[in-house]
Amino acid sequence: MGPGGDRLMPPINRRNAARPDLLLPDQLGQGYQHWQEPIGDYGIFNGQFDLAPGSGAPAGWPEGWEVARFTGGAVERITGGYAGNWCMRGGQPGQGGGGQVWTVRYFPIQENGHYYMSAAWRGNTANARAAFGLLCYDAAKAYLGATVVHVFTPGTSWVKREIHVGPTTDSDNPALFANTRYVRPLFELQDDLTLTNTYTFLDDCEFSQLKATQSAKLYLAQDFTTDAAQAFTDETAYVVWANSTLTITLLEPGYIWYSYFWITECDAARASASRWQVFVDGVVDISTIRCCSPGAAYEMPMCISGRSSTVLPIGAHTVDLRCQPVNAADTVDGTNLQGQAWYARGL
């Protein structure tokens, strides 16, 4: 009985595989509640395999999961988990692998988004192998194929592996299939088919949107280097260093951070002064850096690192390095240029 004498209703677990939002009607009619995942942030329902039997496949399988066994392999829910009491085990006594498990739920994604995927693993031997990836689907949920995110040998003690899933150039995963709009996280238990009497254990599975923080370095531009000398002779204007331009696209308002390193010298036997500036979107971004370049055959290292002076809007932006000799008839050389740029979200 409740404090006021009313009888508390027992919890009722409901699962509609066709409704991936995992909403549960409140038994007292007060509104809605949901399972242990935030609706917008994703998460894997029953990622610790504590709920069973349920509507998974085959019958009696842990709630929210499906399974495919390799030939002769076994995949089963057992005790001894990493989080909670339960976990999954896959393998076989004969030579070969165990099988795969994947979520019943389809997770809506967009190809330029960033996502977090993780799981806890261990093996019964040091050679037991694990893998996880994504089953990819188009907008109509037609199957496109599977992409493997990570393959490794976890060892015999529980370890947690965390993976960044996103655009190929700045994540840990291979490219997603073109037109991917939904994914289902896939986990492979003991996938080395040459091993015998080997099992892999899986628990605490997660998949969620990756959130940027103020200091997160996102979309690191590809570093570049050029050994070709660039000569600067115009003492009345700043001239762009050829190949120094970096283009970076912001998906949200933020600051662009940049860093340039190079070597400078003067063509003449005497020393020559020079000015250096970084421009963002064609506008000078930092105070002038002044340098007294040594004479010919003498090199001096230079470096500029900084952050854009303002928060920049969503879209493409450019960063470049420019030089201006101080005196007429002076020629300042630059070589071995290296640069990179990234952005951090604005507050």
Q: What percent of the chain has pLDDT over 70?
A: 76
Give the pLDDT of residue 122.
95
Does residue 267 sit within a domain? yes
Query: For residue 55, which phi and psi values (nearest 5 degrees)?
Result: -95, 10
Looking at the fold, whether 191 and 334 belong to one and the same domain comes out as no
Q: Which of 185, 209, 233 is the last residue of a domain?
A: 209
Does residue 92 sit within a domain? yes
Task: Work out whether the CA dihedral 296, 298, 300, 301 comes out positive or negative.
Answer: positive
DSSP conformational letter for 337: E
Contact (CB, 8 A) for 60 and 67: no
Q: Which of 209, 244, 264 is the last residue of a domain?
A: 209
Tracing tokens 């340098």 back to the chain, one arrives at 291
Q: Which two tokens stand for residue 315?
A: 């879209």
* Residue range 27-50, pLDDT digits in tens: 433 333 333 444 445 678 889 988
Does residue 175 sit within a domain? yes
Looking at the fold, whether 58 and 134 belong to one and the same domain comes out as yes
Which structural domain range is residue 298 located in? 224-345
Looking at the fold, whether 35 and 102 belong to one and the same domain comes out as yes
Give the pLDDT of residue 18.
40
Which CATH number does the domain housing residue 136 bear?
A: 2.60.120.260
Q: Which of 209, 234, 249 is the last residue of a domain?
A: 209
Q: Which two tokens stand for residue 209?
A: 């949107």
Please give the model's pTM, rounded to 2 decimal places. 0.55
Looking at the fold, whether 299 and 235 belong to one and the same domain comes out as yes
Confidence band (pLDDT; 50, 70, 90) for 80?
very high
Tracing tokens 């007294």 back to the chain, one arrives at 292
Does residue 1 sit within a domain? no
Taking the C-alpha atoms of residue 284 and residue 238, their distance in angstroms, rounded to an integer, is: 10
Looking at the fold, whether 109 and 170 belong to one and the same domain comes out as yes
Alpha helices in the chain (DSSP H): none
Looking at the fold, whether 228 and 171 belong to one and the same domain comes out as no
In angstroms and rounded to an integer, the radius of gyration of the C-alpha atoms of the chain is 28
Would you say residue 113 has pLDDT above 90?
Answer: no
What's the mean pLDDT when you consider all of the chain?
79
Of the listed ranges 57-71, 165-179, 231-245, the one predicted with least confidence = 165-179
Taking the C-alpha atoms of residue 143 and residue 137, their distance in angstroms, rounded to an integer, is: 5
* Residue range 269-306, pLDDT digits in tens: 676 788 899 999 999 987 777 777 676 677 888 899 88
Q: Which two tokens stand for residue 288?
A: 């002038």
Contacts (Cβ under 8 Å, ≥6 apart) of 142 = none
Does residue 13 sit within a domain? no
Which CATH number does the domain housing residue 258 bear?
A: 2.60.120.760
Does residue 219 sit within a domain? no
Looking at the fold, whether 173 and 260 belong to one and the same domain comes out as no
Looking at the fold, whether 158 and 32 belong to one and the same domain comes out as yes
| 40 CB neighbour count, 10 Å cutoff | 7
Does residue 10 sit within a domain? no
Please give the tally of structural domains in the chain. Answer: 2
Does residue 6 sit within a domain? no
* Residue range 3-36, pLDDT digits in tens: 444 444 444 444 444 444 444 443 433 333 333 4
Looking at the fold, whether 53 and 88 belong to one and the same domain comes out as yes
Q: What is the mean pLDDT of residues 252-269?
A: 84
Q: Which two tokens stand for residue 195?
A: 């091993």
Contact (CB, 8 A) for 297 and 284: no
